[in-house]
Structure 1
Amino acid sequence: MSETVKMPALGESVTEGTVTRWLKSVGDTVEVDEPLLEVSTDKVDTEIPSPVAGTIEKILVEEDEDAEVGADLVIIGDGSGSEDSGSDDSGADQSEEKGEDLADDETTAPSTAQETPAGEAEKPAEAEQDSSGGTAEGQEVTMPALGESVTAGTVTRWLKEVGEEVEVDEPLLEVSTDKVDTEIPSPVAGTLLEIKVGEDEDAEVGAVLAIVGSGDAAAATPADDSSEKAAEEPTQEEKPKQEEKPKQEEKAEQAEAPAKEEKKQEQSAPAPQAADSVSGAESSGYVTPLVRKMAADAGVDLSSVKGTGLGGRIRKQDVQEAIDAQKSATEAPAAAPSQAPAAAAKAAPKVEVSSKRGTEEKMPRIRKVIGQRMVESLHGMAQLTTAVEVDLTRIAKLRARAKEDFAAREGAKLTYLPFLMMAAVEALKVYPQLNSTIEGDKIVYHGAEHIGMAADTERGLVVPVIKNAGDLNLAGLARQIGDLGAKAKGNKLVPDDLQGATFTITNTGSGGALWDTPIVPAPQVGILGTGTITKRPAVVQNAEGDDTIAIRSMMYLFLSYDHRMVDGGDAARFLTYMKKRLEEGAFEAELGL
């Protein structure tokens, strides 16, 4: 009995979705709740699980095709029927028709080196036909859908080489798009047989990136060699003759063995560091060739490096940190003697010259995208910036009192940013002009506050989004800031993390800047910048109302906005609201004080 799987409801106001990738093929078996396909809508990318267990009989909606909610997607049966429903062929005929599926079965290991059993002379021909199609020997790894409106990506780095083994869900390559940099995992376990798209080349969504298979094709040459060796092996009649070696020859070989072993040890002795790197890689899991070479060149033992990548994988950044630590350890003792003779004279600071000085490199895709977006935004809006100065002394005292208990209770660090973001979200609710979008002749005032949080990473600027920030308290904002910040630094952001912002905050002050004039990211109409917090003299009123000078924690807030939508008065009122809210420092209830 067959059952039809339909397109489920995928969210409020969502009426249809696009099938971006089928995770199962016709003839494959599927378990209950096992992912069947990936679907993309204008709000979310998600996987559709199977409601039943069985065998896929027919796919009704192909990849890149749209389907309305409730539409039939696939037919799943109990596996008793043949692949083309209504066929009454015998079991032998069915196995011949489904030779491709049988070759993909993990319990079947087709090999060109195996002898063909009697009565199955036709099957090798089928195997060759499947092999030419690339499905019997391996499975295609395609470019997945990487976010709404993303149609292509650039292969930035292959993490595996042809001939290397790969596990299910182990990262195969890194891909960059105009929205995110991410790793593409292998859908199957096996050997990387072929790379279809080289590094720095573009590939559309759905394009074949690589072939991963059982390794039979890759091992064809060794298999042939082994068969030749087998053919060269002596027959049972010849073996006794060869076994009757003269004792003199055996003694000579025994005498030469220690010398050969000593020679091997001498040959391996000159490169102990490279050997340590390799052994370290084996003990720490998979290491990319680039990282392995980087460690070997610097003499870093990978067994002593802690990986911060997926599953503890050692990344380039981890090795660089180890190199820097090793360099600091060797430079410190060398610097001491030189300082001793001239202790009275202060040594000039050492200038760390960048390795990029005087070099050229290809512009990364993320830099191209950032540049293009910023130019388009700056030229498409009438942008200007307004700033105010804010006294954060009360916030600083509250934070000092509460940060340890807050971290223990909420599992998140209490930085200044949650206070600033909470004040901004409240101001957006009061002044929705800053939380709007211009769409032709219409102004759309958003019904929720989705805050983009600009993050500076080694790859460049990324802006993860805190969804429904207006519904979160101070602890919720702190957790979201910490989680998304960690994902940004670890290159773990997914496309959904980067979409849907209605207003953006950029913490320019984290780099020490007092203030800035940030560019508004279209189609938003405002971006708030936060400067660094500095202690300096300021005029304040004492309890008697007299002006006095005191040391205060001061900072600048600066707001860039689209003058087509926001007037200077709107910007000033927005910033003044934030200034008053922060200087009052009424956050005790949020902190449990």
Structure 2
Amino acid sequence: VPAPAPAASPVPAPAPAEQLEAVVAPLPVHARDTIVPLNRIRQTTADYMVQSKQVSPHVLTAIEVDFENVERVRQANKAEFKSHEGFSLTYLPFISRALIDALVDFPHMNASMSGGNLIVHGAVNLAIAVDLNFEGLLAPVIRNADGMRMRAIARNVVDLATRARAKKLTADEITGGTFTITNPGQYGTMMQFPIINQPQVAILSTDGISRKPVVVKDEFGNETVGIHSVGVLALAWDHRAFDGAYAAAFLNRLRTIIETKDWEAELQ
């Protein structure tokens, strides 16, 4: 009778972050190096990012979107918008409004984790990640954004971003978000894998939009090649909350809204 196989050794638990940090020897500091102490916002940002990666099993799902429908309306209205509102009409308000519409159909995206429960929120409190001159970031919150038209969303984005950089936000304005958008596309990025804003379950990265050749079908199914404004939307999501099919279906719905919504009517 063969001897029984030895029992498998138990898989060791992952070491806490502080232990991992302790065993990584720092590089030596040389004469030409500069030691830059992290300021309070940079350190707080770092702590939150490490915590989020430890808590949530992050997954990235991305989708390419044809923004030509948005671009036509944006170009036709940008002069009037700038004159009336005092700031430029960017892609972000269009994406934000489409996102809110998509969350209605996929409510588990507008949610947060609480112990063993997924809390699905009735209102959309939209957090917008704002860079603080490369010294950290904040994510001020547009409360009840689901009740706003696109112009109101655009005004709130500009107001909150301006006051965030001027350090004039209240504590209430940077808490309570239910979904976050981060917008690196202003720097021409292709695709970014963002870190989830805890305890939310998803964050959307709006990346660079550029002119590209695309296949266009007419009403008869005939195909031609046209030059359209195309970009990528990347969704980082928490695998505890839902699975890949749900995330992919959500992005597909978001793309459909962006490509087909009557943006001219929405902008009025």
TM-score normalized by the length of structure 1: 0.39
**CA RMSD between the two structures:** 1.5
1:143-158 to structure 2, matched below 5 A, reads none
What is the distance in 1 between the residues matched to 2:221 and 2:141? 43
Alignment of 1:560-579 (within 5 A): 560-579=236-255
Choose the corresponding residue for 2:235, options 537, 559, 562: 559
Task: Determine the C-alpha separation between the residues in 2 that align with 1:453 and 1:490.
Answer: 16
What does residue 216 of structure 1 align with? none
Identify the residue that residue 400 of structure 1 maps to in structure 2: 75
Once the two structures are superposed, residues 544-580 of structure 1 have per-residue CA deviations (whole angstroms, 9 ceiling, x without a partner) of 3212111110000110100110211111111111100
- Equivalent residue of 2:180, what SS? strand
8 Å CA contact retained: 1:539, 1:548: yes
Unaligned runs of 5+ in 2: 1-31
Partner of 2:182: 506
Is 1:518 paired with 2:230?
no
CA drift of 1:476 comes to: 0.6
**CA–CA separation in structure 2 for the residues paired with 1:526 and 1:472:** 21
Q: For 2:55, give the aligned amino acid.
A: G
Q: Which residue of 2 aligns with 1:486?
A: 162
Match of 1:439 among 109, 114, 118: 114
Q: What is the one-letter code of the residue matched to 2:60? A: T
For the pair 1:587 / 2:247, whether they are aligned, the reply is: no
Q: Distance in 1 between matches of 2:85 and 2:189?
A: 30
Matched residue type, 1:526: A
Contact 2:130/2:164 (CA < 8 Å) preserved in 1? yes
Matches within 5 A, 1:112-511: 358-458=33-133, 459-511=135-187
Give the aligned partner of residue 215 of structure 2: 539
What amino acid is the match of 2:251?
L
Residue type of the partner of 2:102?
A
In the aligned structure 2, how far is the partner of 1:416 from the partner of 1:488?
20
User: Helix, strand or coil for the counterpart of 1:533?
Assistant: strand
Post-superposition CA distance 1:466-500 (Å, at most 9, x none)? 11110100111011011112112223222222111
Alpha-carbon separation, structure 2, partners of 1:574 and 1:509 = 20
Counterpart-to-counterpart distance in 1, 2:164 and 2:198: 21
Task: Report the Cα offset of residue 591 of structure 1.
Answer: 2.1
Task: State the Cα deviation string for residues 69-107 of structure 1 (Å, max 9, x = none).
Answer: xxxxxxxxxxxxxxxxxxxxxxxxxxxxxxxxxxxxxxx
Instruction: Say if 1:505 and 1:527, in contact at 8 Å, map to a contact too.
Output: yes
Describe the SS at the equivalent of 2:36.
Answer: coil
Q: Which residue of 1 aligns with 2:22?
A: none
Q: Secondary structure at the match of 1:532?
A: strand
Q: Please say if residues 182 and 205 of structure 2, whose CA atoms lie closer than 8 Å, have aligned partners that are also in contact.
A: yes
CA drift at 1:535:
0.6
2:256 is matched by which residue type in structure 1?
Answer: K
- Alpha-carbon contact 2:179-2:200 (below 8 Å) kept: yes
Aligned partner letter, 1:576: N
Distance, in Å, in 1 between the alignment partners of 2:33 and 2:98 is 45
Does the aligned pair in 2 maintain the 1:446–1:502 contact within 8 Å? yes
* TM-score in terms of structure 2 length: 0.84
Letter matched to residue 528 of structure 1: L
Preserved CA contact (<8 Å) 2:102 2:257: no
How far is the alpha carbon of 1:412 from its aligned partner?
4.7
CA distance in 1, matches of 2:112, 2:232: 26
Q: CA offsets per residue over residues 381-436 of structure 1, 9 Å max, x none? A: 11101010000011111011112223334455321100000011111121111111
Aligned-partner Cα distance in 2 for 1:505–1:523: 14
Within-5 A mapping of 1:7-22: none
Q: Is the 8 A contact 1:406 1:591 kept in 2?
A: no
Secondary structure of the 2:127 match is strand
Equivalenced residue count is 236
For residue 506 of structure 1, report the CA deviation from its aligned partner.
0.4
Q: Secondary structure at the match of 1:583?
A: helix
Compare CA radii of gyration and give the structure with the larger one.
1
Report if the CA contact (8 A) 1:526-1:560 is conserved. Answer: yes
8 Å CA contact 1:525–1:566 kept in 2: the answer is no
- Counterpart CA distance in 1 for 2:218 and 2:33 is 57
User: 2:132, 2:165 within 8 Å by CA — same for their partners in 1?
Assistant: yes
3-state SS of the aligned residue for 1:531? strand
CA distance in 2, matches of 1:397, 1:498: 34
Give the distance between the partners of 1:485 and 1:367, measured in 2 at CA: 17
Amino acid at match of 2:198: A
Instruction: Give deviations 1:254-277, integer Å, cap 9, x for gaps.
Output: xxxxxxxxxxxxxxxxxxxxxxxx
Q: Greater relative contact order: 1 or 2 (C-alpha under 8 angstroms, separation 6 or more)?
A: 2
Q: Residue 26 of structure 2 corresponds to which residue in structure 1? A: none
